Amino acid sequence: MARRTIISGNWKLNLSVAEGVDLANALKDSAAASEAEVVVFPTALSVACVADACTDSAVAVGVQNIYWEDAGAFTGEASAPLAKAAGCSWVLIGHSERRQYFGETDETVNKRLQATLNAGLKPMVCIGETLAEREAGNLEEVLSTQIKGAIGDLSADQLKELVIAYEPVWAIGTGVVATDEQAQDAHAFVRSVVAEVLGAEAADAMRILYGGSVKPDNAAGLLGKPDIDGALVGGASLKQDSFNGIIDAAAAASV
């Protein structure tokens, strides 16, 4: 099955409102010319303005995190309905930095995933192992636990829009990238777990992205692997030239 490539950028805690709008505008031409789906995840304070700037363009916008309740006395949180009202179409869920710094668990990932789906938004759920877990031979156990914990008791029909982003924690922001073969092996395993839980048809259709120090010079090799359906880009998504270079690499990989 042909799966449409996604090139997504997680801006994390970077870029002012004005800088985010400028960058989004600078990505529009490449996104329009690409067969890949292009998504950016600005900060919560920038997301509405970036979404407004991206109206009627090929650049989709998502929020980096949501709370699982729609409204209430939850100071500092943002809900899926509010994200949708701000112009978002995507939600990033369970990034390793959320797990490491803010107490995210597989259980809360599942709650955020359900809230995202209930609001009619598209979820991008992050999974990945630490270096210690990989070196101990626990990669498959960790990934399987995270996938099954995230999906919970949701059905294949409910999860048609789900995208999984595999990000080895040891490669995020370090400049170290998994080899093309390491990434492909992990993606193939992730797809096998999805098949186990949701069935072969759902697994074949699901897009699985790679994240972890993706740059223009390594993107084509990664994206050329059969089970890698795109990239979740960190630092390289903060600059027009490098992010556009990765968008262009998606076209080269598909040839």
* Residue ranges per structural domain of the chain: 6-254
Dist. CA 178–CA 193, nearest whole Å: 20
Query: Would residue 97 show up in a list of annotated catalytic residues for this protein?
Result: no
**Share of residues in the chain with pLDDT > 70 (%):** 98
Neighbours of 119 (CB within 10 A): 19
Per-residue pLDDT of 22-39, as tens digits, reads: 999 999 999 999 999 999
Which listed residue (37, 95, 104, 187) is catalytic?
95
Dist. CA 123–CA 176, nearest whole Å: 26
Reported confidence tier of residue 176, pLDDT bands at 50, 70, 90:
confident
Dist. CA 117–CA 158, nearest whole Å: 8
* 0.75 surpassed by pTM: yes
Query: Would residue 107 show up in a list of annotated catalytic residues for this protein?
Result: no
The pLDDT score that the predictor gives to residue 254 is 62
Query: Quick check: 1 pLDDT over 70?
Result: no
**CATH T-level topology, domain 6-254:** TIM Barrel (3.20.20)
